[in-house]
Amino acid sequence: MRGNGRARKKALAMGICIFLCSGNTGCFPSQKGMEESQRGSYPETAVSEKKEQAELDFFAMNTYHTFSAYGSGVDTALEEARDRVLELEAKWSATEENSEIFQLNHGNGEVISLSCDTADIRNFTLEIAEKTDGALDPTLYPVLTAWGFTTKENQIPKAAELQTLLENTGWEKVSSEGNQVQIPEGMELDLGAVGKGYAGDEAAEILKEKGITSDLLNLGGNVQAIGSRPGGGSWRLGIRDPSGEGNIGILEVSDQAVVTSGNYERYFVGEDGNTYAHILDPSTGYPVKNGLMSVTVITKEGKKADALSTSLFVMGLEKAENFWRAHPDFDMILITEEDEIYLTEGIRKTFACEDPAMSKNIHIIEKGT
Ligand code: ADP
Ligand code: MG
């Protein structure tokens, strides 16, 4: 992988790592084209038919993104995909004064008109909030701020402060009609748990419209693996070991979004010596601590993978299993503090532990059990 080293380091630190090489056959082509790297020099005519590769690194939505694509015209296609992500960020930022979300959050309870993009993600987020019985709750921003997760000045809030703040949360209090939305004064909407996934879908759509059928988009650890690797074969993604360095296993995917939520990256150690991470239990206002360290969701749509990875992390192992049995239209990998790995049956053949000795920690979640 070429490009900005800082961005690469950051992407690797996320839950999912992308394997660029796997033996001889898995290598991505060089910038000048795969066939050239395999066979040496080419006659002029063949050169123009070669596949191109391009990679674009950029910062958006508070994190580093790396987009790679293969095919002709990839450079401009990637730039358009990046611009779309930046356009969505400008609409959804909780801190940029011109964003729709900022205006809603500081609108003193007034009705606000939204663009179609924002109305769309609002509808989707509220739908998942309802479906997950409020495990996903996009109204926790003031509570996240009390913990310092929005300012990076972390502290443990007093229980009474959390109680007061929770009075102004609750996804059911968001009223929406068409492109209009209204939230009670004091409430703030936060699309942080879904925005990157939604943006990944939009970026992928742009590349598809341009006829590019092999690309790998990494939005701060949210991966959209479109088509298959150039030359064929599934993409190979490393699933990070949440309690150690490196990967716990490798997942093979094609045409899927793969998104991880966990408590092993964004956390702080409080004065009491305990660790507190950035995904909150909406019913208590406290960081989730239920024995899970990470949840990875694998499904077609990035927005769904993103929304569900956060929700299932909040639910914990048992509720997550039950949720999957009731809605088995995605796959997931749950990793516990004891390094136990729970996989849904759809990926039992496409996930393998890096260390074969760890395979004994794998448990398959089946529909009928
Ligand atoms: P990340 O954005 O770190 O990749 P997630 O997609 O899981 O991870 O989103 C976490 C973000 O979602 C938090 O930083 C916060 O803004 C917000 N959040 C935290 N807890 C919840 C929750 N229970 N429901 C909805 N959003 C949440
Ligand atoms: Mg999420």
Quick: pLDDT tens for 59-73: 999 999 999 999 888
Residue 285, token pair as written in the block: 């206002």
**Number of residues that this document lists for the chain:** 369
pLDDT above 90 for 136? yes
Specify the pLDDT at position 9: 38
**Residue 305 Cβ contacting ligand 1 at under 6 Å:** no
pLDDT mean over 341-365: 97
Buried/exposed code over 153-165 (b: 16+ C-beta within 10 A; e: otherwise): eeebbeeeebeeb
What is the pLDDT confidence band of residue 260, given thresholds at 50, 70 and 90?
very high
- 3-state DSSP percent of the chain in helix, strand and coil, to 5: 35, 25, 40
**Residue 287 Cβ contacting ligand 1 at under 6 Å:** no
Phi-psi region of 232 (alpha: psi -120 to 50; beta: other; left: phi over 0): left
| Ligand 1 pocket mutation pick from 133, 223, 278 by most atoms within 8 angstroms of CB | 278
CA of 198 to the centre of ligand 2 (A): 10
Specify the pLDDT at position 18: 63
Q: How far is CA 177 from CA 87, 119, 174, in A?
A: 23, 9, 10
CA of 39 to the centre of ligand 2 (A): 43
Mean pLDDT, all residues of the chain: 88
3-state secondary structure (DSSP) of residue 207: helix
**Residue 306 Cβ contacting ligand 1 at under 6 Å:** yes
Return residues with CB closer than 5 A to ligand 2 (ion).
193, 306, 309-310
pLDDT mean over 135-150: 98
What is the pLDDT confidence band of residue 50, given thresholds at 50, 70 and 90?
very low
- For the chain, give the percent of residues with pLDDT over 70: 86
Q: Report yes or no: 107 and 233 within 8 Å, Cβ to Cβ.
A: no
Residue 77, token pair as written in the block: 């296609």
pTM as predicted: 0.89
Of residues 7 and 56, which shows the higher confidence score?
56
Catalogue all structural domains in the chain, each as residue range(s) with its CATH number.
Answer: 5-91+193-365 (3.10.520.10), 92-192 (1.10.3980.10)
pLDDT mean over 224-234: 92
What is the pLDDT confidence band of residue 231, given thresholds at 50, 70 and 90?
confident
Residue closest by Cα to atom 20 of ligand 1: 279
**Among 30-39, 67-76, 174-183, 314-323, the least confident range:** 30-39
Per-residue pLDDT reduced to its tens digit, 290-317: 999 999 999 999 999 999 999 999 999 9
Specify the pLDDT at position 43: 29
DSSP label of 280: B
- For the chain, give the percent of residues with pLDDT over 90: 82
3-state secondary structure (DSSP) of residue 121: helix
